[in-house]
Structure 1
Amino acid sequence: MKVPEHRSLKEKQRLEREELILQVAQDVVLEKGYRDTSMDEIAARVGIAKGTLYLHFARKEDLMLAFFEREMQNILQAIEQLPVTEEMSARAKLESIVNIMHKDASGKRANLLFILFNSEDFKITLQQKSLDTLRRISDKVRAYLEEGKTRGEFDPNIPTDILLSSFFSVLSPRAHRRLFLEEGYTRQEVLSCVQKIFFRGIAKQPS
């Protein structure tokens, strides 16, 4: 994260330390899972006192929420800045969103979000606190699905709620995590295949 030049030195140092904390927390969660991640270990790896860590994040939940919200905001911002035009098909617009979701080639972000989404200790809090950002991303996808139905690209007989749920279930990076980790497929191979399955499945059928 680049710190703006107009910030004071103290503020720059605070933001840089906060970014380091988030990076270290990501590594610890990936290694140990959410439940076994402790603030003590994060502070030790960063090289700061536990009290200093608490000045930035009062609880482990706050730290994880900060990471999650930052990632969702980055995705939302990228979606809102897509250079879409009226000439683009609804499918092309949705494919652009999928590419943003899969942008992290290392897979770290997808793996961490997978862990957080599937943590019984955390996912309810996660969904409640980041509800607005998640809804805005969902609304953008919904709008393109509706556009595709109106333009005759997608099957109008499939309820949009089902299309929306299927979009995130089928095309989310975390949905196919096992294929990357255990079966040896590349992300591009999986992404190409699942997009074919999804978009052919929702395409408007000839009369």
Structure 2
Amino acid sequence: MQEAYVAQSLKEKHRQEREMLILEKAEEVFLEKGYYDTSMEEIAARVGIAKGTIYLHFARKDDLVVAIIQRDLEIFLNTIDAQIALVPTAREKLEVFIRAIYSGLFSKHTYLLSNMYNAIDIKRMIEEKQGCLRGLWEGLSSRVTYLLDEGKEWGEFDKQISTITMLRAFFALFTPRSYIHIYKQENPEEIVTSLIHIYFRGIAAPSPC
């Protein structure tokens, strides 16, 4: 019985390792060729497995896309809490959030985001499979919502503006197209800093003393 359990555990470990390798190689091909020109055959060849084997893990190409997004969101959520714990105020924590998204989630996939996320059918596919991502998205949203409410309580943010409006404005900062535009600039860090300024202070000039 014990030997059978060990063999099953080892088999599952190998399956998980192969799945992670498939995602890694799929991401490479997506980045090189884009979503539409990527084939399951080429991904299997990169991994060094038969085409049929890849379908044991992912039935369709769009399943790979969802899995890549899910993996990266999990990594982001596992690291962001430690980062925001290092700063004291709600506003500073949200600034860390914004910089982490631009330097982490977005910077890794510039072409991938532009090529895939702006495609209508890819958007529909993600919506259809949102059950796979809902928990992660809710985790991300709940963290930001908590910080917004915390900022209101501490007097950092305007209590007359609803938290949901603040939340929507926050996530409006992050689109693949805006990311591509930012990283075509000579100083992307300066652009991100400006976005942070606009989110928290608007575009109105400071009142003269």
RMSD: 3.1
CA deviation after TM superposition for structure 1 residue 57, in Å: 1.4
Secondary structure, counterpart of 1:149 in structure 2: helix
| CA 1:173–1:36: 2 relative to 1, 3 Å | closer
In structure 2, the partner of 1:90 is 90
Which whole-Å CA distance do the structure 1 matches of 2:105 and 2:62 have between them? Answer: 26
Query: How far has the Cα of 1:193 moved from its partner?
Result: 1.9
Distance in 2 of aligned mates of 1:49 and 1:110: 30
Cα distance in 2 for partners of 1:178, 1:29 equals: 20
Answer whether contact 2:102 2:179 (CA < 8 A) is retained: no
Distance, in Å, in 2 between the alignment partners of 1:143 and 1:172 is 22
Give the superposition deviation at 1:171.
Answer: 5.0
Q: In 1, Cα distance between the equivalents of 2:154 and 2:200? A: 15
Counterpart of 2:107 in structure 1: which amino acid? G
Match of 2:75 in 1: 74
Q: CA shift at 1:149, angstroms? A: 1.9
Please state whether the residue corresponding to 2:202 is helix, strand or coil: helix
* Kept after mapping to 2: 8 A contact 1:90/1:148: yes
Structure ranking higher in helix proportion: 2
Residue in structure 2 matched with residue 28 of structure 1 by the alignment: 29
* Structure 2, gaps ≥5 residues long: 1-7
Pairwise CA distance, 1:50: 0.2
TM-score of the two chains, using structure 1 as the length reference? 0.78
Structure 1 residues 171 and 89 mapped into 2: Cα distance closer, same or farther (>3 Å)? farther
Number of aligned pairs? Answer: 196
Report the counterpart of residue 157 of structure 1 in structure 2.
160
Distance 2:173 2:160 in 1: 19
Contact 1:146–1:160 (8 Å) recurs in 2: yes
Deviates more, 1:8-17 or 1:40-49: 8-17
In 1, distance between residues paired with 2:42 and 2:116? 18
Q: Distance in 1 between matches of 2:174 and 2:200?
A: 10
Q: Secondary structure at the match of 2:120?
A: coil
Which residue does 1:45 correspond to in 2?
46
- Larger C-alpha radius of gyration, 1 or 2? 2
Q: 1:119: which partner in 2? A: 119
Q: In structure 1, what is the Cα distance between the partners aligned to 2:12 and 2:158?
A: 53
Q: Residues 155-185 of structure 1: CA distance to partner in whole angstroms, max 9, x if unpaired?
A: 22323222111212225676331231xx333
C-alpha separation in 2, matches of 1:59 and 1:131: 20
Deviations 1:70-112 (A, max 9, x none): 1111122223444638x82110111222232134399233543
TM-score norm. by structure 2 comes to: 0.78
Structure 1 gap segments, 5+ residues each: 1-6
Q: Give the CA deviation at 1:138.
A: 0.8
Instruction: Report deviation, 1:36.
Output: 2.9
Summarize the Cα distance change of 1:199–1:171 in structure 2 as closer, same or farther, 3 Å threshold.
farther
